[in-house]
């Protein structure tokens, strides 16, 4: 995932792009809670390296430290604001990353024929 144009600004689009190791392609996964006691929820999915059904933020390593969010359907970076649109989780049955707003998944627009990242109804097309 790539912050478009390496431009650190509010509501900047997030795209799929060729890897070049710039800060606009570097992200941290920051979990909101520690692993819960339930045996499935919170366990690490070793194939995808996500804790199952555990809230996290995706934080840009650019200087502002903005969070992955969305505007319309497009994934963008925004200043941390405490809204659910900045909470994400790994959904084990579909093996997708979903938003807490409406449980839709990360998606590459136009069935992967675009570079634009969005959220969309889950179809498990990535795996």
Q: pTM for the full model? A: 0.69
Tell me the residue range of the domain where 100 lies.
2-120
- Distance between CA 68 and CA 86 in Å, rounded? 6
Tell me whether residue 24 is in a domain. Answer: yes
Tally of structural domains, the chain: 1
Tell me whether residue 34 is in a domain. Answer: yes
pLDDT in tens, 27-45: 988 777 654 443 368 888 8
| 3-state DSSP assignment of residue 58 | strand
Q: Supply the CATH number for residue 114's domain.
A: 2.80.10.50
Residue 36 has a pLDDT of 44
Tell me whether residue 126 is in a domain. Answer: no
Tell me whether residue 127 is in a domain. Answer: no
């Amino acid at each position: 995932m790539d912050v478009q144009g390496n431009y650190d600004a509010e509501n900047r689009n997030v795209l799929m792009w060729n890897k070049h190791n710039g800060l606009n392609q570097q992200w941290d996964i920051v979990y909101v809670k520690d692993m819960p006691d339930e045996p499935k929820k919170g366990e690490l999915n070793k194939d995808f390296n996500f804790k199952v059904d555990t809230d996290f933020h995706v934080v840009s390593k650019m200087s502002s430290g903005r969070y992955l969010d969305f505007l319309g359907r497009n994934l963008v970076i925004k200043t941390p604001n405490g809204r659910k649109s900045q909470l994400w989780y790994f959904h084990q049955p579909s093996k997708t990353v979903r938003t807490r707003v409406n449980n839709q998944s990360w998606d590459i627009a136009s069935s992967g024929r675009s570079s634009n990242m969005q959220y969309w109804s889950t179809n498990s097309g990535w795996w």
